[in-house]
Every structure is written in C-alpha cells, then in structure tokens.
Amino acid sequence: MLRPYTGGFLDAQDATARAYREEEQEREEARTRHIKALEERLFQQTSLHDALQVLWELKEDYWPDLPEAYRGWLASEISKQMNALDLEKNVRWEGTTLWAPKVLSFLLKVMNRYDLKI
C-alpha cells in the first residue's frame, strides 16, 4: 500500500534481501560441496598423517561415519603412532603444567569418536 510513496526504497530493500538469500544459499552449497569432497578424500588416504590432516580440516562436527575396514586401518595406524610417541617418557607434569605431544589430544578425539581400540 505504501510502496508507491517510498520512491523505490521498498523495492530496493526487497531486491537486496533476495540477493543476500541467494548469496547465502550459494555459500552454503559451496560449503556442503567442500565437506563432501573432503569426506571422499579421507577414504582415499593411505597414510595416517594425510588422514588426520583431512579430519582436522573437516572439523569434528563433520567427521563422517567410517567403514569397518577403514576404522581397522585407522586404529592400527594410530596404535603405531602412539607407540612412536613414547607416551611414558613424553607425557609429564612439570609443576602445575602437563606436557604432552601436541598431536595426542587430536588422536584421542579421533579414537573416542570412532571408538577405536588400540
């Protein structure tokens, strides 16, 4: 009813809102494509370092379900890595500070999320 008296302001506002919704939808679609590409890349990884890098990039909220065979491989590789970290020597308290390898907390998150037995 007031549209003819706004000098095109309401039309411009509607156009801006439409453009914003379209841009937001495009960003969401691009993010979804990126997540799917990372998930596909994860299953192609044959080194623990590369698999962990993809999981890191995906962020915990988007970690996919893993096939049993891949979970077995991941558990085996993390087990080897835990042995290499020599936690008995490299995790220690110094005063009120706990020192541990930087990768340990991430490995524990992966193990917990996928219920990996090492």
Q: What is the pLDDT of residues 20-49, one digit of tens each?
A: 999 999 999 999 999 999 999 999 999 999
Write down the pLDDT at residue 1. 67
Q: Rounded distance, CA 16 to CA 20, Å? A: 6
* pTM score: 0.75
Q: Rounded distance, CA 74 to CA 42, Å? A: 11
Mean of the per-residue pLDDT values for the chain?
A: 92
Domain extents for the chain?
Answer: 62-118
